[in-house]
A and B are shown apart, each in its own frame.
Chain A
Amino acid sequence: MADLPELVKSWIGKAVVVVERTVTVEKESWLNFCAAIQDGNPLYWDESFAQSHTDHTIAPFAMLPSWGSTHPWYPGKQGDGVRAMELHFMLKEALAYPNGIVTSVEMTYHEPVRAGDSVRVEQILRNVSEERATRLGPGRDWTIEVVYRRQDQVLLGLESMSFLGYRRS
């Protein structure tokens, strides 16, 4: 990692991005996602079914990172706002890679998210590789860990994401 900019070196091991309460979770938002993936799980849709399991309907776990992403526009917004994996975009910019893709994800699911909740997100940079040749162009791999907590600090989930940042050859 000797070739990394000092700024990026200073990020390793730290919660570089902390996002507090960007949106309030609401049911119709997650049902739009369920419609997109055609997921009819009654825990997401059916209040009376959910009552005996989760007290109320819950949001799909796959959407946990979505609740840390700001609206694409809001009054007074400047720049890009907070994107779903803001630290990933900060790394792309700091390392001058116009492109980036997710290569692997590991999620551990804890307490489910319900309507009215908001989510606190901590993004921690774990590592950045040296530059290497990839089939998409020269690039680097990096890993970001994310801790998701409810507004009352209850743990919702843990995530580890591996990325490839690259520029066209």
Chain B
Amino acid sequence: MNPTLALHARLPTRRIEVTTKSIIMGAVTSRDWAPLHHDVVWAKSEGNLPNIIMNNYTQAGLINAYVTDWSGPAARIGRLRFSMRSPICPGDALDLSGVIETIDPEPELIWVSLAIELTVGDRLATRSTVRVALPVSEQSPSLWQRRADAWQP
């Protein structure tokens, strides 16, 4: 079942306690072997960074999961854009928050644009926009069965 859609409505905030383990797990399982995601000595001495940092694949995964936890799995994400403004490190209490920016109904789906922020306290870590398609109703054909030429994200 679709969530209630209203312009400027806010998604529930999600808090993630970031740890050394979660950053390394995210990097290794996304097959990213760069040392700034697992080697704190390298990150500080060579990377000029405060600690190891969360890689972009993990951030993409967290944002996508935040959206589909809200929308339900029948929704289909078409486009994800994000820019990283400051690093996410072990010990950070990371909050994901989002707001509905646009709602564009089409005959068999509804495109929704979400503005999402990843913040640590008052500090903006990452700003994101996600374009996600939701079925019009539970009886609508699955969005995942669309042919390539009918999927224009």
In the bound assembly, the distance between CA atoms of A72 and B77 in angstroms comes to 30
Contact across chains for A62 and B79 when beta carbons are under 8 A apart:
no
Contact across chains for A104 and B26 when beta carbons are under 8 A apart:
no
In the bound assembly, the distance between CA atoms of A69 and B33 in angstroms comes to 9
Known: A105-B82, A106-B80, A112-B144. A137 touches B33 (CB 8 A): no
Known: A106-B80, A107-B80, A112-B144. A36 touches B58 (CB 8 A): yes
| CB proximity to B under 8 Å, residues A1-51 | 23, 29, 32-33, 35-39, 41-43, 49
Known: A41-B68, A110-B148. A53 touches B74 (CB 8 A): yes
- Stretch from B4-12, B59-67, B97-105 that touches the partner: B59-67
| CB proximity to B under 8 Å, residues A144-169 | 154-155, 161-162, 166, 168
Q: How many residues of B contact A (CB 8 A)?
A: 43
**Contacts between chains A and B (CB distance < 8 A), count:** 128
B56 at the interface (CB under 8 A from A): yes
B106 at the interface (CB under 8 A from A): no
B31 CB to nearest A CB, Å:
4
Which applies to chain A's interface (DSSP): helix, strand, loop or mixed? mixed
In the bound assembly, the distance between CA atoms of A54 and B74 in angstroms comes to 10
Contact across chains for B64 and A69 when beta carbons are under 8 A apart:
no
Contact across chains for B148 and A62 when beta carbons are under 8 A apart:
no
A78 at the interface (CB under 8 A from B): no
Known: A29-B29, A41-B73, A66-B30. A105 touches B148 (CB 8 A): no
- Tell me which of B30, B80, B83, B144 contacts A63 (CB under 8 A): B30
Residues of chain A within 8 A of B69, CB atoms compared: 41
Would you list the 3 A-B pairs with minimal beta carbon distance, nearest first? A36-B25, A104-B83, A62-B60
